[in-house]
């Protein structure tokens, strides 16, 4: 890439004072909640969920206060204590409070509060509700460490901490084998990414002797270009694991085995966007490597298309939303890969997505709740009449996601597509085109979802639930609908608020540097807007032609084209994992167990036996063990004495 960026002047960091000095409470409150709920046991059953909500709401209140604090537009640091300290390696448990981290604090605790409240209703019949809130609190605490930590190691602490919470919650129904397997798969694929993050940290320590953001960012220019590019790609590997990006995307759809509030909070709004956070946070490193950014953009573009395409094929409402998440995070990754043209756009889309996707998942949860946990959309139909609030809020989230003006997705996604078209040469057409195509596909699969769920014939009337009873869909309780309404309002308003007068982008500037506007793209901005809206409308129409015009068959058609078959099989991603990693791994383990028992052990026993004269001797040693033991002690005693004498007289 020919564009070059001047290194930003060393950032101004001030010690946290006043309100920012008590930012540790943000983390401590939900951590305390988790501790009480998980250690307290059954005694806390009665009020556990209330404590769980209270700690997150309190953190949210502190976050709001921080946002309005005069110092919020600066970069502030607070060292809490020295964590790992050996000579040159000094890792503090420290916090970095700046516009980027405050943005995430508000998203995590804000959406987190709503989902905690919703869960009171959703999990009301679950015996383990108290423990569920304990895990949710644990997640919030770990996620806050991830975004507030002031070094790559504290980030890593939060990074694996949220991975643990995710593991526990995906496997919530742990006596269901599919849930247990999905949880394990998520953890393992995340660890693959974590190795990337870990090695990046090793490189930083070796070359700069530090892992703290301010010091790394100030001195990253000293590194050789190859090292910088290596670090960017290793960090990207970490981001791919956590954010379900190609080639580590397969765990995220499986993660839908968890309860729906978990899917909304962890696997849509917050944790899975951590990869975007990581790249945006490391922007001074990515600024120095055009190659590294190119790889990021390529991964983002591939993933957004994979997500869209597979999303078109599923009948499981949560899986469609999950692939939608994969694809939308693809947009964000693409955006932050554009460097100074896109960091702020990626974060903007991330926040908007956090609102509308959380809302969509809560809506899906409400539908599932009404439909006895049935997730197959072919069994839904015509639910808008019965669940008007769920339908209304879902519709607003839908409009925001497919990017119909004036809803939030339009502003944020449109900006990313325009920035992609602002690249130079072939990149403009390839990445801009991919993002544009994705917008059309998004409109298609989401319209399909809405039509199959809320419109058409009420197909469930003639069907039975899994337990053999009839379906009696009903609107959810207000403890569930109110969070949905609030998120829907957020979906409507957020995008407009973000872009009006570039307020948000300007506010983020201390963390991400000012956003560089694309000056002369291959297409004018007006043209891009027309194309985005045109393709989206086309997608909507197509979906209507296929599933809206006529009745949806209750059993999915078996005779389909190879393309549909491939998409139904996740484009064979899982088959590939199975064939390349899982099966050879199992065989290797079995083979080595055999070798270790027969070969290595046999060899060593053989050598030992030949020392003893014969294998028969060894067997005798083993049988008459007490006598032999005495004998060998005697022998070694004689040896000792002999050796001592030898030395004495030598």
Partner 1 sequence: MNFSSAPMAAGTSSGGAAYLLALLLLPLLGGIVVAFLKDDRMAKLTALTVSLVELALVIPAWITFVPNGSRIQLALSVDWIPAFGVHFSLGIDGIALTMIALIGVLTPIVIGGSWADKLPEGRGAAGFYSLLLVMQTGMVGVFAATDVFLFYVFFEAVLVPMYFLVGRFGGPRRQYAAMKFFLYSLLGGLIMLASVIGLYVVSADYNNGVGTLDWQTLSNVMDQAPLSTQIWLFLGFFVAFAIKAPLVPLHTWLPDATAEAPIGTGVLLVGVLDKIGTFGFLRYCLPLFPAASQELAPLVLVLSVLGLIYGAILATGQNDMKRLMAYISIAHFGFIGLGIFAFSTQSIAGSALYMVNHGLATGMLFLVVGMVIARGDSRLISDYGGLSKVTPLLAGLFLFGGLAALSLPGTNSFVSEFLVLVGSYPNAPVYAILGAVGMILAAAYVLWAYQRVFQGPVRGNALVGVAGGPGAATDPAKVGISDLGVREKVVLAPLVILIIFLGFYPAPVLDVLQPTVDATLQSVGLADPVGGK
Burial 107-129 (b: 16+ CB within 10 A, else e): bbbbbbbbbbbbbbbbbeeeeeb
- Using CB under 8 A as the binding rule, whether residue 176 contacts partner 1 is answered as yes
Per DSSP bridges, beta strands 89-97 and 75-86 are antiparallel
Q: Which CB sits closer to partner 1, 63 or 171? A: 171
- Using CB under 8 A as the binding rule, whether residue 199 contacts partner 1 is answered as yes
Q: Which CB sits closer to partner 1, 572 or 625? A: 625
Binding range to partner 1, per CB under 8 A, among 172-180, 224-232, 520-528, 530-538: 172-180
Two structure tokens written together for 431:
């990445």
Q: How far apart are CB 615 and partner 1 at their closest, in Å?
A: 13
Q: For residues 90-129, which are near partner 1 according to CB under 8 A? A: 93
- Using CB under 8 A as the binding rule, whether residue 202 contacts partner 1 is answered as yes
- Using CB under 8 A as the binding rule, whether residue 188 contacts partner 1 is answered as yes
Q: How far apart are CB 201 and partner 1 at their closest, in Å?
A: 7
| DSSP type of residue 244 | T
Q: How far apart are CB 147 and partner 1 at their closest, in Å?
A: 15
Residue selected from 46, 555, 558, 647 as contacting partner 1 according to rule CB under 8 A: 647
Residue selected from 14, 17, 61, 191 as contacting partner 1 according to rule CB under 8 A: 191
SS3 78: strand
- Using CB under 8 A as the binding rule, whether residue 177 contacts partner 1 is answered as yes
Q: How far apart are CB 375 and partner 1 at their closest, in Å?
A: 21
- Using CB under 8 A as the binding rule, whether residue 175 contacts partner 1 is answered as yes
Q: Which helix (H) or strand (E) holds 500?
A: none
Q: For residues 209-248, which are near partner 1 according to CB under 8 A? A: 209
Asked if 379 and 387 touch (Cβ cutoff 8 Å), the reply is: no
End-to-end CA distance of the chain: 76
CA-nearest of 137, 60, 73, 132 to 508 is 73
DSSP secondary structure string for all residues of 375-395: -BGGG---TTTT-HHHHHHHH
- Using CB under 8 A as the binding rule, whether residue 566 contacts partner 1 is answered as no
CA-nearest of 156, 164, 157 to 137 is 164
Residue selected from 79, 184, 556, 568 as contacting partner 1 according to rule CB under 8 A: 184
Q: Which helix (H) or strand (E) holds 96?
A: strand 89-97
Asked if 194 and 160 touch (Cβ cutoff 8 Å), the reply is: yes
Q: Which CB sits closer to partner 1, 25 or 604? A: 604
CB atoms near residue 425 (< 10 Å)? 10
Binding range to partner 1, per CB under 8 A, among 331-339, 358-366, 397-405, 629-637: 629-637
Binding range to partner 1, per CB under 8 A, among 12-20, 170-178, 303-311, 409-417: 170-178
- Using CB under 8 A as the binding rule, whether residue 558 contacts partner 1 is answered as no
Asked if 99 and 72 touch (Cβ cutoff 8 Å), the reply is: yes
Binding range to partner 1, per CB under 8 A, among 75-83, 213-221, 382-390, 563-571: 75-83
Q: How far apart are CB 492 and partner 1 at their closest, in Å?
A: 39
- Using CB under 8 A as the binding rule, whether residue 257 contacts partner 1 is answered as no
- Using CB under 8 A as the binding rule, whether residue 7 contacts partner 1 is answered as no
- Using CB under 8 A as the binding rule, whether residue 205 contacts partner 1 is answered as yes
Q: How far apart are CB 289 and partner 1 at their closest, in Å?
A: 20
- Using CB under 8 A as the binding rule, whether residue 174 contacts partner 1 is answered as yes
Q: How far apart are CB 467 and partner 1 at their closest, in Å?
A: 17
Q: Side by side, which strands form the sheet with 13-15?
A: 13-15, 75-86, 89-97
Q: How far is CA 394 from CA 78, 112, 362, 388, 480, in A?
A: 41, 19, 9, 10, 13
Q: For residues 129-158, which are near partner 1 according to CB under 8 A? A: 153, 156-157
Binding range to partner 1, per CB under 8 A, among 80-88, 497-505, 533-541, 557-565: 80-88
Q: Which phi and psi (to 5°) does residue 213 adopt? A: -50, -55
Residue selected from 9, 46, 88, 555 as contacting partner 1 according to rule CB under 8 A: 88
- Using CB under 8 A as the binding rule, whether residue 639 contacts partner 1 is answered as yes
The C-alpha atoms of residue 100 and residue 160 are separated, in whole angstroms, by 20
Q: Which CB sits closer to partner 1, 10 or 635? A: 635
Q: How many of the chain's residues bind partner 1 (CB under 8 A)?
A: 71
Q: Which CB sits closer to partner 1, 524 or 597? A: 597
Cα 245 to its chain centre, rounded Å, is: 9
Q: How far apart are CB 192 and partner 1 at their closest, in Å?
A: 6
- Using CB under 8 A as the binding rule, whether residue 87 contacts partner 1 is answered as yes
The C-alpha atoms of residue 370 and residue 381 are separated, in whole angstroms, by 13
- Using CB under 8 A as the binding rule, whether residue 203 contacts partner 1 is answered as yes
- Using CB under 8 A as the binding rule, whether residue 298 contacts partner 1 is answered as no
Q: Which CB sits closer to partner 1, 569 or 643? A: 643
Q: Report CA dihedral (494, 497, 502, 503) to the nearest 10 degrees.
A: -100
Q: Which CB sits closer to partner 1, 178 or 500? A: 178
- Using CB under 8 A as the binding rule, whether residue 160 contacts partner 1 is answered as yes
| DSSP type of residue 548 | I
Q: How far is CA 23 from CA 76, 102, 342, in A?
A: 11, 10, 29
The C-alpha atoms of residue 142 and residue 138 are separated, in whole angstroms, by 6
- Using CB under 8 A as the binding rule, whether residue 645 contacts partner 1 is answered as no
The C-alpha atoms of residue 617 and residue 303 are separated, in whole angstroms, by 65
Q: Report CA dihedral (20, 25, 31, 34) to the nearest 10 degrees.
A: -130
Q: For residues 584-613, which are near partner 1 according to CB under 8 A? A: 585, 588-590, 592-593, 596, 600-601, 603-605, 608, 611
The C-alpha atoms of residue 347 and residue 643 are separated, in whole angstroms, by 74
């Amino acid at each position: 890439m020919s564009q070059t960026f001047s290194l930003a002047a060393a950032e101004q960091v001030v010690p946290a004072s006043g309100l920012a000095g008590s930012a540790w409470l943000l983390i401590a409150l939900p951590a305390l909640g988790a501790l009480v709920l998980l250690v307290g046991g059954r005694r806390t059953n009665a009020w556990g969920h209330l404590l769980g909500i209270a700690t997150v709401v309190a953190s949210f209140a502190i976050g709001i206060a921080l946002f309005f604090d005069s110092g919020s537009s600066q970069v502030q640091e607070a060292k809490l204590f020295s964590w790992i300290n050996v000579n040159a390696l000094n890792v503090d448990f420290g916090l970095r409070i700046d516009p980027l981290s405050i943005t995430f604090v508000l998203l995590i605790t804000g959406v987190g509060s709503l989902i905690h409240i919703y869960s009171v209703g959703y999990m009301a019949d679950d015996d383990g509700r108290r423990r569920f809130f304990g895990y949710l609190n644990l997640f919030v605490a770990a996620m806050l460490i991830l975004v507030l930590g002031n070094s790559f190691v504290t980030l890593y602490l939060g990074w694996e901490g949220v991975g643990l919470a995710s593991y526990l919650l995906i496997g919530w129904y742990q006596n269901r084998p599919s849930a247990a397997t999905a949880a394990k798969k998520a953890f393992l694929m995340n660890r693959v990414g974590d190795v990337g993050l870990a090695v990046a940290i090793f490189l930083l320590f070796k070359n700069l002797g530090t892992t703290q953001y301010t010091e790394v960012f100030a001195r990253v220019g000293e590194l050789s270009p190859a090292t910088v590019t290596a670090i960017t790609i290793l960090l990207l590997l970490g981001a791919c694991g956590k954010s379900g990006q190609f080639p580590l995307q397969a765990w995220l759809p499986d993660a839908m085995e968890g309860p729906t509030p978990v899917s909304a909070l962890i696997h849509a709004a917050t944790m899975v966007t951590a990869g975007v956070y990581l790249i945006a946070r490391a922007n001074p490193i990515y600024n120095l490597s055009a190659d590294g950014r190119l790889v990021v953009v390529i991964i983002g573009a591939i993933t957004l298309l994979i997500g869209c395409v597979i999303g078109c094929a599923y009948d499981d409402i949560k899986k469609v939303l999950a692939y939608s998440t994969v694809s939308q995070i693809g947009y964000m990754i693409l955006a932050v890969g554009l460097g100074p043209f896109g960091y702020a756009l990626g974060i903007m889309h991330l926040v908007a997505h956090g609102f509308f996707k959380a809302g969509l998942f809560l809506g899906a949860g409400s539908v599932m709740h009404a439909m006895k946990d049935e997730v197959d959309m072919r069994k839904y139909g015509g639910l808008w009449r019965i669940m008007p609030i769920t339908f209304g809020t879902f519709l607003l989230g839908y409009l925001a996601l497919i990017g119909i003006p004036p809803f939030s997705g339009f502003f944020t996604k449109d900006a990313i597509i325009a920035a992609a078209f602002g690249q130079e040469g072939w990149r403009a057409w390839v990445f801009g085109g991919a993002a544009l195509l994705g917008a059309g596909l998004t409109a298609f699969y989401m319209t399909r979802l809405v039509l199959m769920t809320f419109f058409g014939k009420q197909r469930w009337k003639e069907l039975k639930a899994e337990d053999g009873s009839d379906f009696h869909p009903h609107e959810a309780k207000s403890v569930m609908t109110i969070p949905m309404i609030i998120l829907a309002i957020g979906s409507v308003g957020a995008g407009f608020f973000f872009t009006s007068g570039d307020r948000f982008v300007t506010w983020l500037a201390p963390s991400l540097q000012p956003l560089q506007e694309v000056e002369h793209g291959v297409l004018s901005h007006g043209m891009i807007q027309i194309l985005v809206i045109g393709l989206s409308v086309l997608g909507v129409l197509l979906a209507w032609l296929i599933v809206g015009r006529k009745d949806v068959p209750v059993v999915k058609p078996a005779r389909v084209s190879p393309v549909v078959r491939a998409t139904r099989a996740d484009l064979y991603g899982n088959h590939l994992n199975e064939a390349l990693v899982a099966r050879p791994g199992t065989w290797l383990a079995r083979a080595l167990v055999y070798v270790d028992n027969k070969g290595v052990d046999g060899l060593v026993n053989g050598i030992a036996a030949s020392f003893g004269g014969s294998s028969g001797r060894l067997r005798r040693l083993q049988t008459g063990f007490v006598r032999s033991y005495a004998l060998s002690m005697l022998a070694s005693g004689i040896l000792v004495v002999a050796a001592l004498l030898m030395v004495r007289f030598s």
